[in-house]
Amino acid sequence: MAVDKHRKEELVKKFRRSELDTGSSEVQVALLTQNIQNLTEHFKRNKNDIHGQRGLIRMVNRRRKLLDYLKSKSPQRYSTLITELGIRK
């Protein structure tokens, strides 16, 4: 359920802060959001995949921690990111 190479490149280009940025909080949150969306679709088809749900919960918690960090450091970047990704309506 990982993000394919081309989609990952698109997300990194869209959310990076500088030319060489590949690991900022915004990029990490965008990639985690894409993985979470893919896994959510997977679980709609495979309701009994209990072990995979553990990985999903870990990803959601990691994204939440990154968003909390970003909110405390730069509320402007936080609000921009969540509106672009369409999370926390």
Among 24, 4, 5, 22, smallest CA distance to 13 is for 22
Residue 11 maps to a domain:
no
Residue 63 maps to a domain:
yes
Runs of H (alpha helix) within the chain = 5-15, 25-45, 50-73, 75-85
Please determine, for residue 1, whether its predicted confidence score (pLDDT) is greater than 70: no
Residue 67 maps to a domain:
yes
Residue 73 maps to a domain:
yes
Residue 66 maps to a domain:
yes
Number of domains in the chain: 1
Q: What 8-state DSSP symbol labels residue 2? A: P
The tens digit of pLDDT for each residue in 13-71 reads: 999 999 999 899 999 999 999 999 999 999 999 999 999 999 999 999 999 999 999 99
Residue 86 maps to a domain:
yes
| CATH number (domain holding residue 82) | 1.10.287.10
Write down the pTM of the prediction. Answer: 0.90
Structural domain harbouring 74: 26-36+52-89
Residue 62 maps to a domain:
yes
